[in-house]
Structure 1
Amino acid sequence: MNTERTSLAVRARIHAALGDPARLAIVDTLAAGDAAPGELAALLSLPTNLVAHHLKVLEDAGVVVRTRSEGDRRRTYVRLVTEALAAVVTPSLSPVPRVVFVCTQNSARSQLAAAIWARRSQVPAMSAGTQPAERVHPRAARVARRHGLDPGTWRTARLNDVVQRDDLIIAVCDNAYEHLPAESRPRLHWSVPDPSPADTDAAFEAAYTEIAGRIDRLAPALSPPEATEKSRS
């Protein structure tokens, strides 16, 4: 009985937190990718002090958490706690011709993301780096093989050599996101911790799990333009 009451109290707190239009708009925005508080204010045309208030309410309800950037340590990003919001559905997004996953070195996270995406979506995917390494990280290749992916054809590439005008850029790295050109639109940000400093199979496995979960939520909301046209005809 106590467990049931606790569960009801937690659920009620989440529902109460979502009972404000501005907070619901914040959650809808974070369903697709992480954002800094200032970015949320700009995207939603809200004063920064009001965003701070709404984020505290959402944090207290366990709906969002803050993480510090691995790039600019002065910055924080807000992310959705999807376990607390199983009922929140990723909003439908505009069709895109291609997705480009980006991290700094294009040696692990972005490579894994593009490979996982290819299994989940009909939208083509590529990967690239803002400062690409000479080769793919061996542990990333090992994790890929454990999950039935083939890293044999993976090669690192520079973002400017890969990206095209209408691509959806998804930065899976704080550093890469913070160095994207201002004109790079559309784009999303996934604050996935870099597994390279730890350099353990567990860290790379954690990155894989994080990326796969995010792709599972986003892929159903995206479709290629031709699929949208067919559904209308």
Structure 2
Amino acid sequence: MNIERTRKLEARAAKHAALSDPSRLRIIDLLTMGDLSPTEIRTALAIPSNLISHHLNVLESAGMIARSRSEADRRRSYVHLTDDALEGLTPGQVARARRVVFVCTANSARSQLAAALWATVSDIPAASGGTHPAAEIAPGALEVATRRNLSLADQHPHALDDVLTDSDFVVTVCDNAHEELGVSGHLHWSIPDPVRMGSDAAFDETYSELQRRIAELAPRLTTDLSHPTKEAHP
């Protein structure tokens, strides 16, 4: 781990530690709406002034707040959030990726839907493959894609070995594929097989879960142009 990354992690950890106290978390919540004097903060929290001073000192040490003098009454100060107060409070960037490959056993539902969903939110190319591909995409996957206006046109299952390259970022979306591949995948999402359950509700739930996870992952991957990529099957 390089020095710069270590410093960033330490700064994030300091902020999380500062917010571990409910009163300090409440102070930050209040300051997201506007600047407050220490007296106004004490009134809002209904705790003694010495505790307010302590909490403000902790937040200031973590780089989350700053203070300025009132232009009206110079004895009075106001507390405000720093420009980067909330930076680093959500998970950091995961990795760089030339292409994302979603994997399930049959490549007939979950991985197909995931690759199609990925294409709607990220410029990083996506493909999908199966460790034991089926003969065709599951009807339920086609139907849920139609219901959600997602295109799976001209797709059919592919064997993972025909799709995967050494530079791909691999996301397994079923437990069987993950356990078969072992540590070769980058991420694993344990998502139940909607084909096994067969109902519209099962496919809708799978779609929603994939959509949620993809929306969370996409901003945390950046394009890696350092390796050539193999073209995905149409």
TM-score (norm 1): 0.58
Percent pairwise identity: 47
> How many angstroms apart in 1 are the aligned matches of 2:213 and 2:89?
13
Gap runs ≥5 in structure 2: 1-15, 21-87, 227-234
Q: Look up the equivalent residue of 1:199 and give its one-letter code.
A: G
Give the equivalent residue in structure 1 for 2:134.
133
Hey, what's the Cα distance between the residues in 2 that align with 1:124 and 1:156? 17
Equivalent residue, structure 1, for 2:153: 152
Which position in structure 2 is the counterpart of 1:107? 108
What SS does the corresponding residue of 1:169 show, helix, strand or coil? strand
User: Which residue of structure 1 lines up, in the alignment, with residue 223 of structure 2?
Assistant: 224
CA contact (8 A) 1:90 1:217 kept: no
Work out whether residues 91 and 221 of structure 1, in 8 Å CA contact, stay in contact via their aligned partners in 2.
yes
The residue number in structure 2 matching 1:31 is none
User: CA separation in 2, counterparts of 1:137 and 1:127?
Assistant: 14
Shift of the 88–112 alpha-carbon distance from structure 1 to 2, 3 Å rule, reads farther
Alignment of 1:170-185 (within 5 A): 170-180=171-181, 182=183, 184=184
Counterpart of 2:196, as a letter, is: P
Task: Give the structure 1 partner of residue 28 of structure 2.
Answer: none
1:122–1:223 contact (8 Å) kept in structure 2 = no
Deviations, residues 85-125 of structure 1 (Å, cap 9, x unaligned): xx962320221100000000000000000000000101100
What letter matches 1:90 in structure 2? P
Which residue of the partner structure matches residue 34 of structure 1? none
Runs of 4+ in 1 over 3 A off after TM superposition: none
Q: Secondary structure at the match of 2:197?
A: coil
Question: What secondary structure, in the 3-state scheme, does the structure 1 residue paired with 2:113 have?
Answer: helix
Give the alignment of 1:27-106 within 5 angstroms: 89-106=90-107
Instruction: Write the distance in 1 (CA, Å) between the matches of 2:134 and 2:150.
Output: 21
Q: Which residue of 2 aligns with 1:190?
A: 189
Q: Which residue of 2 aligns with 1:33?
A: none
What number of residue pairs does the alignment pair up? 143
Q: Which TM-score applies when normalising by structure 2?
A: 0.57
Structure 1 residue 181: Cα displacement: 5.3
State the one-letter code of the partner of 1:89: T
| TM-superposed deviation, 1:170 | 0.2
Distance 1:146 1:152 in 2: 14
1:226 deviates by 4.2
What is the rounded CA distance, in whole Å, between the counterparts of 1:180 and 1:88 in structure 2?
Answer: 33
Give distance in 2, aligned partners of 1:179 and 1:168. 17
CA distance in 1, matches of 2:158, 2:168: 16
Q: Does 1:118 align with 2:119?
A: yes
- Partner of 1:116, secondary structure, is helix
Unmatched segments (≥5 aa) in structure 1: 1-14, 20-86, 228-233
The one-character-per-residue Cα deviations of 1:48-103 (angstroms, maximum 9, x if unpaired) are xxxxxxxxxxxxxxxxxxxxxxxxxxxxxxxxxxxxxxx96232022110000000
Q: Is the 8 A contact 1:107 1:136 kept in 2?
A: yes
